[in-house]
Structure 1
Amino acid sequence: MKNKPSYAISSVDHALQLAALLQQEGALRVTDVADRLEVSVSTAHRLLAMLVYRDFAEQLPDRRYGPGKVLRPAPLTEAPVALLRRVALPHLRALVDRTDETANLMVPAGDEVRIIATVECDQILRVGDRVGRTLPARFASAGKAILAALPAEEVESHYPDDYPSFARELAQIRRRGFAINDQRTETGLTALGMAVRDPSGRPIAGISLSIPTARFIRDALPTWTTALSSATTRLEAALSSAD
């Protein structure tokens, strides 16, 4: 299980976070960067200047900064990432308050899912922030939940060689309403995931609850999945009424 190292260099961490933000969300103002990274405007400006120098960012005519040529465009999702993140954060925080475990929001990106928001719990042993990481959709809990909500032929087009066995797992996920990732993407991490759907029923994102495997117990599943279902339902309702 990976957590932030005790010797982390904050300036490097900020630069990497900023590069991920530019790739995922597009053009940002200096003040937007300062707010998202929780740094001063002058620090945000210096970070952007360095990314421009290394071609990770470029300044646009309207004085905002966008992704540079080094950053390949992120795969398109079916809902705006910035809107999803903004609307989801209160519900992720509520989920963390109820479970005291870390919550993530993921969006589909081809045969992967990309983590666009994390709210960490306060426990000493916890799963850390994973924003910007991509995971194989067929192994990540939220990824599997998203795939289970898609038409069978669409899933089969992504996994033609081993679809029959995978289809059985997806059918089980549909029956119980959630997916489990037991250390398939990271040793020491077990996660539960549910899909977030748009009004037509199409999955557009997924919420996962990430738990250190050492603390994962089957008896707690009803509590965790009830909280996860509530957060998912409330997020879907909020998205349907969001501007």
Structure 2
Amino acid sequence: MDESQKNPPPYAIRSVDHALRLAAMLQLEGALTVSEAAQRLGVARSTAHRLLAMLVYRDFAVKDDQHVYRAGPVLELAAHSPSQTSRLRSAALPHLRHLVERVGESANLAVRTGDTTRFIASVESHRALRVSSREGMVFPAHRTTAGLLLLADLPDDELDELYAPDHYEGRPEERPDPRALRTDLARVRRNGFALNDGRSERGVVALGVGVREPDGTVAAGLSVSMPSVRYERHRLPELVNTLRAAARSVEASL
């Protein structure tokens, strides 16, 4: 087993998962009411209320006089470019939902911070067998679809600096092989999309394209994720075209 992959724990604790997802929503989306939290998680209002109360107790959330919950001190300290994240997320969410309806698979938007990628928006497929929400999760950039797209946009000198050996002192096993990474990134630039078959999680295939700022730089990676048993190679051109259309729609909304 590759320890650098992220796989769901064999005995997931649903209440913990709900609390963590709520924390990510508060940090990435902003204010939430109890009803909104319950609807997003698919739980009863009483359950959502208890979860939010615990987040308040641990300073992950605060509640105002109108009983609206917002990110608390802990999440505010850990926030990454909240204005940029909020702008990207707001522009992308409607198009992510439309993308899920079009392809029937989960859709994600992720940004890069150093050598990691963070999922800032995620919409799950409605299918029983699906890739679950990645919202708020952080992965090594070279192991994700979005990360490959964002790394491929970097000049060679920035890429060399990012993966310099001294940045991985004490953890050399986490540093990707530079030659293999350059080969991967050259393929992404040549194809104009990234395909990830089990790099970040076993049994999951993800396909993505870049979302560009007006100056042409790649601001985020837009992707769809599916169980590998459902991936059909002959659909690749169709999926890439659908993703590119979705990315252009997000760019127009920015």
Question: Normalising TM by the smaller chain, what interval?
Answer: 0.7 to 0.9
Separation (CA, whole Å) in 2 of partners of 1:103 and 1:147: 20
* Percent of matched pairs sharing the same residue: 45
- SS at the partner of 1:155? helix
Aligned pair partner of 2:72 in 67, 85, 88 = 67
Residue type at the aligned position of 2:181: F
- SS at the partner of 2:19? helix
Whether 1:132 and 2:136 are equivalent positions in the alignment is yes
Once the 2 structures are TM-superposed, how far is the Cα of residue 136 of structure 1 from its aligned partner? 1.1
Q: Residues 33-87 of structure 1, C-alpha deviation per residue, up to 9 Å, x if partnerless?
A: 642552788766554332232233346899863333487513337x622222222
The CA RMSD over aligned residues, in Å, is: 3.1
Separation (CA, whole Å) in 2 of partners of 1:195 and 1:106: 10
More displaced stretch, 46-55 vs 204-213: 46-55
- SS at the partner of 1:130? coil
Aligned pair partner of 1:21 in 25, 46, 56 = 25
Separation (CA, whole Å) in 2 of partners of 1:7 and 1:179: 30
Separation (CA, whole Å) in 2 of partners of 1:81 and 1:70: 14
Q: Which residue of 1 aligns with 2:249?
A: 234
Separation (CA, whole Å) in 1 of partners of 2:95 and 2:147: 19
Please show how residues 169-208 of structure 1 align to structure 2 within 5 Å.
169-208=184-223
**8 Å Cα contact 1:76/1:109 also seen in 2:** no
With normalisation by structure 2, the TM-score equals 0.78
- SS at the partner of 2:210? strand
- SS at the partner of 1:128? coil
Question: Where does the alignment leave 5 or more consecutive residues of structure 2 unmatched?
Answer: 1-5, 166-176
Please show how residues 35-50 of structure 1 align to structure 2 within 5 Å.
35-38=36-39, 46-50=50-54
- SS at the partner of 2:143? coil
Relative to structure 1, is the Cα distance of residues 85 and 37 closer, same or farther in structure 2, using a 3 angstrom cutoff? farther
- SS at the partner of 1:196? strand
Separation (CA, whole Å) in 1 of partners of 2:37 and 2:120: 13
Q: Which residue of 2 aligns with 1:157?
A: 161
Residue type at the aligned position of 2:88: L
Once the 2 structures are TM-superposed, how far is the Cα of residue 141 of structure 1 from its aligned partner? 0.7
Whether 1:145 and 2:149 are equivalent positions in the alignment is yes
Report how many residues are paired: 234
**8 Å Cα contact 1:19/1:67 also seen in 2:** no
Separation (CA, whole Å) in 1 of partners of 2:86 and 2:44: 22
Q: Residues 179-223 of structure 1, C-alpha deviation per residue, up to 9 Å, x if partnerless?
A: 111101101001111111110112211111112111222211111
Relative to structure 1, is the Cα distance of residues 97 and 49 closer, same or farther in structure 2, using a 3 angstrom cutoff? closer
- SS at the partner of 2:126? coil
Relative to structure 1, is the Cα distance of residues 139 and 163 closer, same or farther in structure 2, using a 3 angstrom cutoff? same
Q: Which residue of 1 aligns with 2:3?
A: none
With normalisation by structure 1, the TM-score equals 0.81
Aligned pair partner of 1:103 in 93, 107, 113 = 107
Separation (CA, whole Å) in 2 of partners of 1:35 and 1:61: 17
Relative to structure 1, is the Cα distance of residues 158 and 34 closer, same or farther in structure 2, using a 3 angstrom cutoff? farther
Q: Which residue of 1 aligns with 2:173?
A: none
Separation (CA, whole Å) in 2 of partners of 1:96 and 1:6: 28
